[in-house]
Homo-oligomer: A and B are copies of this chain.
Amino acid sequence: MTRPYDIAAFRALIGPIKCEDNPVLVKQKSRDFYWYSPVLKRQLEPVTADLVVTPQDERQVATILAAAHELAIPVTARGGGTGNYGQAMPLDGGVLLNLIEMNRILAIAPGRVVCEPGALLADIDKAAAASGQELRMFPSTRATASIGGFIAGGSGGVGSITWGGLRDFGNVLRLRVMTMEASPRTLELTGADLHKAVHAYGTNGIITEVEMPLTAAYDWVDVIVGFDSFDAAAAYGLALGEQDGILKKLVTVIAAPAPARYFLRHRSIIPEGKSVVLAMVAPHALDAFEAFTRPVKGAELLFVSSRAPRETLAGLPPNYELAWNHTTLRALRVDPKITYLQVRYPEDGGLAMIRRIHERFGDEAVGHLEIIRFNGRIGFAGLPLVRFTTEERLQALIDEHEAMGAMVFNPHRYTLEEGGMKQTDATQLAFKRDTDPQGLLNPGKMIAWADPDFDYASGQNFLFPGLEARALAAQS
């Protein structure tokens, strides 16, 4: 059922808080990069909020939540809108809570930054630079992504090779979260309580302040190493990752033909047919990096940013904007048929499994690996570039990956569970009962709330009734 929300009453209740109801602009702000997935592109196309509300401070957030609660209007929080699974898309319409103007950086101390959720990752790093510090990790969308959105909708990224993922203890220090009630409360989450709200898509509270760890900042050097085979590149990428003394922020492995074909501005740097390893290396680790790389058979050092002429650098995106899901983005720009998967390979035998999978699927799933730290160990995450044909074939590809022993975090699903561990997160569900008893925050994203009896083993996808009703309404 598409609910007729009383938006006029809501606006009256929130008074002078900044609003936008121009349908074109509202629809624009109701979107993220869900269109990387042809499945989500089809499913989420009709999604739009009724109103975008842009609070300037926590008090305004409280006013908005209280008003929406009174009128039973759904509220979906959004930061930079850089998600890839519709994390911030309001499946059931209602209010889009645009937090991007709550972007103040409140405090910086050794190892810590406190800020509002709308602060951009790039701006936090700029502010932290004065003390020689920077964030431990950021997504490839660093320039436009907000810290709150990263915490609520992300998992890790550039920096995960050193620090692991966002959900690891210590990678988020504190969250201040507001509840969706008649009189919204603010809760301070630290320690194990952080798991309640990290990567919950804003379904169980609105993040109004964050405290994140900082680490030493460096003028990272972008390097690109070429190989004649994906295999050799993957083995080198892992070995480079395992060099404990060579400080890196990124090690990415991308199979030919993707680099030469999709990294258009790097065409003079990356020859056709080369698989590449992209890395971000600390300046004081560059010498060790080269000493490590030089004797590696077949390794060809194609690019070192600190030695590149200024004219060359001017036209180039940084390495991190070739990595993680920016690899997919660049592929998509050249070939709109490209989509991707998210894969984890096992610690033991990962390299051999990657080789088998690569041989099996060839150009249908071009290898893309991110070297990350996971439970104290260096390993592979994968975001293979998939040539999309049909949804059935995409599912078959996923099934075959899993049959071969890899774990797929399906990026073609808009729910927390189906994109994640495919099971109820009891902690997040219990927290939602406490913070959002009426189920008004980002409806449709937490299956455990919407359909507690949903059977993950059934092979069926979860379809949020609200979204289905909207899709039908849009067609009629």
Is A79 interfacial (CB 8 A cutoff)? Answer: no
Is A367 interfacial (CB 8 A cutoff)? Answer: no
Q: A111-B218, A132-B132, A287-B191 are in contact. Are A292 and B169 (CB under 8 A)?
A: yes
Query: 8 Å CB contacts to B: which residues of A374-402?
Result: 374-378
**Chain B nearest CB, measured from A430 CB (Å):** 16
The answer to whether B291 touches A190 (Cβ under 8 A) is yes
Is A163 interfacial (CB 8 A cutoff)? Answer: yes
Docked Cα-Cα span, A287 to B378, in Å, equals 25
Residues of chain B within 8 A of A112, CB atoms compared: 284
The answer to whether B243 touches A168 (Cβ under 8 A) is yes
Is A283 interfacial (CB 8 A cutoff)? Answer: yes
Stretch from A119-127, A244-252, A310-318 at the B interface: A244-252
The answer to whether A216 touches B377 (Cβ under 8 A) is no
Is A173 interfacial (CB 8 A cutoff)? Answer: yes
The answer to whether B288 touches A170 (Cβ under 8 A) is yes
User: What 1/0 mask marks residues of chain A from 357 to 380 whose CB sits below 8 Å from any chain B CB?
Assistant: 000000000000000011111100
Which of B163, B218, B247 is within 8 Å of A244, CB to CB?
A: B163
**Chain B nearest CB, measured from A360 CB (Å):** 27
Is A37 interfacial (CB 8 A cutoff)? Answer: no
Knowing that A162-B244, A169-B246, A192-B291 touch, tell me 8 more A-B residue pairs with CB under 8 angstroms. Answer: A110-B284, A111-B282, A133-B216, A168-B243, A169-B245, A170-B246, A242-B375, A376-B378
The answer to whether A291 touches B191 (Cβ under 8 A) is yes
The answer to whether A213 touches B284 (Cβ under 8 A) is yes
On chain A, the number of residues with a Cβ less than 8 Å from chain B's Cβ atoms is 52
Is A183 interfacial (CB 8 A cutoff)? Answer: no
The answer to whether A283 touches B111 (Cβ under 8 A) is yes
Residues of chain B within 8 A of A6, CB atoms compared: none
**Chain B nearest CB, measured from A172 CB (Å):** 9
Docked Cα-Cα span, A171 to B287, in Å, equals 11
Is A164 interfacial (CB 8 A cutoff)? Answer: yes
The answer to whether B284 touches A244 (Cβ under 8 A) is no
- Smallest Cβ-Cβ distance to A191: which chain B residue: B291
The answer to whether A170 touches B245 (Cβ under 8 A) is yes
Q: A190-B287, A377-B376 are in contact. Are A111 and B216 (CB under 8 A)?
A: yes
Is A427 interfacial (CB 8 A cutoff)? Answer: no
The answer to whether B291 touches A169 (Cβ under 8 A) is yes
The answer to whether B285 touches A245 (Cβ under 8 A) is no
Residues of chain B within 8 A of A376, CB atoms compared: 241-244, 377-378
Name the residue in A112, A292, A376 with the highest tally of chain B Cβ atoms < 10 Å from its Cβ: A376
Residues of chain B within 8 A of A131, CB atoms compared: 132
Residues of chain B within 8 A of A132, CB atoms compared: 110, 131-132, 216
- Smallest Cβ-Cβ distance to A290: which chain B residue: B191
Docked Cα-Cα span, A137 to B474, in Å, equals 63
